[in-house]
């Protein structure tokens, strides 16, 4: 059945905007007193409410001031885990480095231990709780990585849990295999041996059981080196996996690996040279910046203004995880980043919608257009500029996922 939603004070369609580089608010298409018509989860009409109303008798009336945007897309999270690292957070605030904590068996290794001890039911419950919060804060599509499995059996377990959640939650969940998160905390297994083990034993299972088509790796001195990472990613590409990388968080160099293998995205980029920015801008690889991680570790933000001004593709994600980015609030982090990096509203909303979709390799959402998935969020304001102005304190009052309205 056709349903018309509206009237909306403003609709930001996010249509006809460039996939890379800077964007001005003047480039935004804003429809005033607009409406969106939906049928079978798909948008079939966008325009002036009173015009579309002539062609639809079934109306879902919006009886409050409401600015409509495409549903947000969080293209980088680690929300399938157990336990807390609040003690570690206090240590970092006292001046102990993330790398030192990791080298002493804390950090990611601590979460691996706690996740291994948690039951499937506990992991599903906790992950759904985080996903629920995200959903009602406007994130209607969410990437979730594995990576907290202490061995390959645990990685398979986590990916199965993530896929099960996708079947039973209104969000669209995109699973990513991050078995190459950190080397085993075992002196008997080298980094190279572990990567070969993933390729030989895990990749065939990912294919056979359809657990994911996405492979990630953490390229860093405390994780996996550049050359071994490049070989690993090349093999994944040869097996027709999409690849993405954690790169340039503490040291530069990983970005080149990601671009050279044709990664969908290179994520983090807090430490990046002008040459690397130029190299990235000449590729089809997206930059995914993670302001929540900078806030969690007390480190500088990725140079987003410079990335955009040099013509890079750019998405913003939360990196929601129990260690470096525990906040998990996409809109708040993006608002703070915008103030720090002098980003336009158009640049932020693009980075949370169609540009984030692009980083995941999906093209059926992220804009309010005919024939796109009807993922819509509305904010109880009269003008879209109020959203970032309130720095994440105004959350969506209207959630529509695939044409179905959800209330908290």
Note the pLDDT of residue 261: 98
pLDDT beyond 80 at 370: yes
Mean pLDDT value across residues 24-49: 98
| Domain encompassing residue 319 | 73-360
**Same domain assignment for residues 55 and 129:** no
In a shared domain, residues 37 and 168? no
Q: Look up the CATH number of the domain holding residue 31.
A: 2.30.40.10
- Distance from C-alpha of 337 to C-alpha of 348, rounded to nearest angstrom: 9
User: Which sign, positive or negative, has the C-alpha torsion 297, 269, 175, 343?
Assistant: positive
Residues 152 and 16 occupy one common structural domain:
no
Q: Which residue has the higher pLDDT, 89 or 328?
A: 328
The more confident residue out of 31 and 106 is 31
Q: 356 and 380: one domain?
A: no
Q: Residue 186: pLDDT band by 50, 70, 90 thresholds?
A: confident
pLDDT recorded at residue 8:
98
Residues 121 and 205 both lie in one domain? yes
> In percent, how much of the chain has pLDDT > 90?
91
Same domain for 23 and 114, yes or no, is: no
Residues 122, 47: one domain? no
- Look at residue 222 in the predicted model and tell me its pLDDT: 87
- 28/163 same-domain check: no
The pLDDT, as a whole number, for residue 23 is 98
Residues 32 and 54 in one domain: yes
pLDDT above 90 for 171: yes
Domains in the chain, number: 2
The domain spanning residue 181 has which CATH number? 3.20.20.140
Going by pLDDT thresholds of 50, 70 and 90, the confidence category of residue 225 is very high
* CA separation, residue 332 to residues 45, 77, 245, 338, 367 (Å): 31, 16, 24, 10, 21
For residues 40, 43, 46 and 50, what is the CA-based torsion angle, rounded to 10 degrees?
A: 20
Model pLDDT for residues 301-349, shown as the tens digit of each residue: 999 999 999 999 999 999 999 999 999 999 999 999 999 999 999 999 9
**Band of pLDDT at residue 105, cut at 50, 70 and 90:** confident
Indicate if the pLDDT at residue 49 is higher than 90.
yes
Q: Are residues 125 and 96 in the same domain?
A: yes
Give yes or no: residues 28 and 136 share one domain: no
Closest CA to 30 of 349, 304, 308, 356: 349
Q: What is the pLDDT of residue 189?
A: 84
Alpha helices in 19-176 (DSSP H): 49-52, 86-93, 98-103, 108-117, 120-136, 152-168
Instruction: Say yes or no to pLDDT of 92 above 90.
Output: no
Looking at every residue in the chain, the average pLDDT score rounds to: 96
Whether residues 202 and 57 share a domain: the answer is no
């Amino acid at each position: 059945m056709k349903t018309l939603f509206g009237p909306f004070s403003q609709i930001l369609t996010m249509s006809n905007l460039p996939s890379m580089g800077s964007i001005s608010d003047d480039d935004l298409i804003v429809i005033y007193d607009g409406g969106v018509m939906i049928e079978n989860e798909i948008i079939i009409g966008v325009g002036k409410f009173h015009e579309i109303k002539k062609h639809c008798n079934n109306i879902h009336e919006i009886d409050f001031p409401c600015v409509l945007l495409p549903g947000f897309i969080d293209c980088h999270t680690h929300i399938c885990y157990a336990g807390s690292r609040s003690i570690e957070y206090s240590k970092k605030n006292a001046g102990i480095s993330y790398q030192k904590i990791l080298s002493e068996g804390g950090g990611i290794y601590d979460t691996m231990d706690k996740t291994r001890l948690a039951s499937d039911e506990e992991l599903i419950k906790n992950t759904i709780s985080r996903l629920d919060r995200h959903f009602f804060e406007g994130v209607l599509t969410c990437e979730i990585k594995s990576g907290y499995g202490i061995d390959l059996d645990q990685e398979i377990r986590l990916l199965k849990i993530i896929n099960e959640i996708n079947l039973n939650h209104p969000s669209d969940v995109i699973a990513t295999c991050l078995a190459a998160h950190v080397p085993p905390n075992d002196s008997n297994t080298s980094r190279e041996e572990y990567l070969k083990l993933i390729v030989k034993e895990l990749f065939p299972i990912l294919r056979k059981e359809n657990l994911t088509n996405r492979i990630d790796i953490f390229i860093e001195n405390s994780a996996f080196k550049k050359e071994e990472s490049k070989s690993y990613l090349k093999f994944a590409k040869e097996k027709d996996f999409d690849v993405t990388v954690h790169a340039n968080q503490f040291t530069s160099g990983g970005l080149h690996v990601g671009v050279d293998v044709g990664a969908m995205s290179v994520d983090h980029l807090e430490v990046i040279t002008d040459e690397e920015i130029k190299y990235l801008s000449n590729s089809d690889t997206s930059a995914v910046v993670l302001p929540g991680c900078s806030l969690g570790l007390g480190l500088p933000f990725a140079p987003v203004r410079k990335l955009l001004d040099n013509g890079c593709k750019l998405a913003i994600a939360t990196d929601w995880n129990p260690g470096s980015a525990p906040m998990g609030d996409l809109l708040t982090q993006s608002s703070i980043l915008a103030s720090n990096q002098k980003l336009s509203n158009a640049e932020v909303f693009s980075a949370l919608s169609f540009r984030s979709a692009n980083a995941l390799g999906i093209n059926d959402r992220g804009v309010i257009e005919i024939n796109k998935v009807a993922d819509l969020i509305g904010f109880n304001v009269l003008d879209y500029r109020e959203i970032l102005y309130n720095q994440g304190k105004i959350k969506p009052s209207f959630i529509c996922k695939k044409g179905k309205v959800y209330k908290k």
